[in-house]
Amino acid sequence: MFELLKLLGGWAWIVLLITIGIIVFIILNFKKQNKQVELTEIKLPGVTAKISPIPVRRIAFITQPKDASGMPASLADIIVRIYDDNNKPLGGRQVIVELHSFSGTDYLRGILNRLSDETGTVVFSGLKISRSGQYELIAKSEGQLIISAPFEITPLPVRRIAFITQPKDASGRPASLADIIVRIYDDNNKPLGGRQVIVELNSFSGTDYLRGILNRLSDETGTVVFSGLKILRSGQYELIAKSEGQLIISAPFEITPPGLDTNFSDKPFNSPEYKIALSRKLALSKAEDELKMDKEEI
């Protein structure tokens, strides 16, 4: 190359120096702007210039994850920033966020892979976790990573329980209750799924207990259906539904022996069926009153 320059004379040296100066200026300018670019095959006689991306050297959580409640729980915006060797922000770089669990068994929902903006910043919005537990976030970029402060996801507390269907009078030995539907709600009157609901029997005049599956989990609409509940002995009862310290008591209902229909309210007024059921009801009430008086005397 130098033999050629001697032949060409001084102007060739001037052109070469100007060209090298332009290349150096381009390199410095790209580095200043943190551009992720690569120039290849810029050739002069005996010269090849290449610019490699500035590597990520540090990642920082600008905002740490906070404790949250709900199923699923929505995290507040998570802001991450990435830097080079000179602690300058790096734009246009891929950043990934992951979930690490201490005690939960869930995964992170949302957009977990984003590019940093010109300030080196990435905002992860709308991240959700569905199960309670203790967690931390891990942010990664080009082989670098950082772990967030730990945080906790807790379920929203049950604040209200409602009987969607009330128990009805029934007859039989045992008597089968129609399906009992219960729903549970949070502070904002939103249904709560995945919560344990228990149903119990309270007696006014009977001495029985409730048979069937008395412990169920609410579905995603906060609803529990208790099917196949049975009561063996006649008497007057009510149901109690409980969940996480909250409870509600149903309307009272009556269980009668098989074949003894005392429900007169659903029959035509003064019809023979109405009069028979009413007389049975009065006789049953009188017998119960006499039994109660006998017990008091004893």
pLDDT value of position 257: 80
CA torsion through residues 213, 214, 215, 219, sign? positive
**Residue 170, CA atoms < 13 Å, CB-side half-sphere:** 19
**Residue type present at position 294:** D
Q: Give CA angle at 223 (158, 197), nearest 5°.
A: 55
pLDDT at 253: 94
Q: Is 261 left (phi over 0), alpha (psi -120 to 50) or beta?
A: beta
Residues near 228 by Cβ (< 8 Å), separated by ≥ 6?
Answer: 176, 212, 213
Selecting from 2.60.40.1180, 2.60.40.10, 3.40.50.450, 3.30.1340.30, what CATH number does the domain 58-154 have? 2.60.40.10
- As a whole number of angstroms, the distance between CA 41 and CA 23 comes to 12
pLDDT (0 to 100) of residue 78:
97
Length of the chain: 298
Closest by Cα among 143, 73, 145, 78 to 109: 73
**Strands 78-83 vs 121-124: parallel, antiparallel or unpaired:** antiparallel
Which stretches of the chain are DSSP H helices? 2-8, 10-32, 272-297
Query: Under 8 Å CB-to-CB from 208, ≥6 apart: which residues?
Result: 201, 231, 232, 233, 235, 237, 255
Structure token digits, residue 147: 């772990």
CATH number of 160-260: 2.60.40.10
Closest CA to 151 of 132, 129, 136: 136
Residue 208 is predicted with a pLDDT of 84
Residue 6 neighbours by CB distance under 10 Å? 9
Give the span between the Cα atoms of 223 and 227, in whole angstroms. 13
Q: What is the pLDDT of residue 161?
A: 96
Query: Cβ distance 219 to 185 under 8 Å?
Result: no
- 3-class SS string, 26-88: HHHHHHHCCCCCCCCCEEECCEEECCCCCCCCEEEECCCCCCEECCCEECCCEEEEEECCCCC
Which of 163, 183, 185, 159 lies closest to 250 in space, CA to CA? 163
- Distance (Å, whole) CA 78 – CA 125: 7
**Cβ contacts of residue 84 below 8 Å, gap of 6+?**
34, 54, 55, 56, 57, 90
Residue 20: per-residue pLDDT: 61
Distance from C-alpha of 86 to C-alpha of 135, rounded to nearest angstrom:
32
Instruction: Give me the pLDDT at residue 106, please.
Output: 82
pLDDT in tens for each of the 298 residues of the chain?
Answer: 445 445 444 554 455 555 665 665 555 555 544 444 444 455 555 555 566 678 999 999 999 999 998 778 899 999 999 999 899 999 999 999 999 998 877 889 999 999 999 999 999 999 999 888 999 999 999 999 999 999 999 888 899 999 999 999 998 889 999 999 999 998 888 899 889 999 999 998 767 889 999 999 999 899 999 999 999 988 899 999 999 999 999 999 999 887 655 565 666 766 776 666 767 667 666 656 655 555 455 4
* pLDDT, position 36: 42
Minimal CA–CA distance to 254: which of 170, 131, 157, 198? 170
